[in-house]
Structure 1
Amino acid sequence: MAIDHTTIIVPEDKFRECLALYVKALEPLGYRVVYEFGENIVGLGSEFDTVENYKVADFWLFGAKESTKAHVAFRAENRSLVDAFHAAAMLSGGQDNGAPGVRAHYHANYYAAYVHDAAGNNIEVVCHKP
């Protein structure tokens, strides 16, 4: 089994700011906008992920009147992608919540970076390889 998709709910007035951060920060991981429904619902995914000829969006952003804080971790194939995520997030308005580095308290090869979006959600990219 695997997670099919994740949704983060952000305040409507922060939706575009948060979306801009995710589009830029997740680009090094192969993500892009694949679906948009109305003004405040966007699905991001890889152009390479398809199910029966449908594009798959596994990360969704919803704008709502009320929101909650979330933590989402994306898996990267190598450490340079973790670094690229963090750099792109910083350039696009993210707030540093942990620069790229080894988190040995999880395990010896846990290399991750953390960023808060404009709504305070904690986004992580992690590589488990040495």
Structure 2
Amino acid sequence: MQSWSILDHIALQVNDIAASAAFYDAVLAPLGAGRQKQFGENISFGITDHPLWLVPATDHTPAREVHLAFGAVDRAAVDAFHRAALAVGAKILHPPRLWPEYHASYYGTFVRDPDGNNIEAVCHQP
């Protein structure tokens, strides 16, 4: 049976495609994801598909913060995502830890991408 998700893909407008692509290359690798396609300047990321697209910003007005949470297969992958974010100089919002206010097994870390978005890696497994 094929799994289904209501979200097919999302496009983030970014100010610097190269800087953002390097950030997502680094932090998504520990989660088993990477670049999937390039269409002009647009770059997609995923595991076997391309649900996340980076596209050039059409204007340079301040944008509202976006929150993206990427699923991790285990807590070690969350920790690896965190280390990768540190290695590329990302601002750490919250280091990896349990978040029992969400649920007993919610283990996550939160960082900022180059455009100031709140990017999370989360594992829901005990």
TM band (smaller chain): 0.7 to 0.9
Alpha-carbon distance in structure 2 between the residues aligned to 1:15 and 1:121: 14
- 1:9 is matched with 13
- Which consecutive unaligned segments of at least 5 residues does structure 2 have? none
Alpha-carbon distance in structure 2 between the residues aligned to 1:59 and 1:90: 21
How far 1:93 moved relative to its partner?
2.4
The equivalent position to 1:23 in structure 2, one of 22, 25, 46, is 25
Alignment: residue pair count:
119
Instruction: Identify the range of structure 1 (98-107 vs 29-38) with the bigger mean alpha-carbon deviation.
Output: 29-38
1:126 aligns with 2:122: yes
- 1:58 is matched with 51
How far 1:118 moved relative to its partner?
1.5
- Which consecutive unaligned segments of at least 5 residues does structure 1 have? 50-55
Alpha-carbon distance in structure 2 between the residues aligned to 1:68 and 1:26: 22
Q: Secondary structure, in 3 states, of the residue corresponding to 1:60? A: strand
Please list, as runs of the form range in 1=range in 2, the aligned pairs for 1:15-94 lying within 5 A after superposition: 15-39=17-41, 41-46=42-47, 49=48, 56-64=49-57, 65-66=59-60, 67-94=63-90
TM-score for both structures, normalised by structure 2: 0.87
CA RMSD of aligned residues (A): 1.3
How far 1:111 moved relative to its partner?
0.1
* Kept after mapping to 2: 8 A contact 1:103/1:112: yes
Alpha-carbon distance in structure 2 between the residues aligned to 1:109 and 1:71: 20
Alpha-carbon distance in structure 2 between the residues aligned to 1:81 and 1:17: 23
Please list, as runs of the form range in 1=range in 2, the aligned pairs for 1:87-126 lying within 5 A after superposition: 87-126=83-122
Opposite residue 127 of structure 1, the aligned amino acid is C
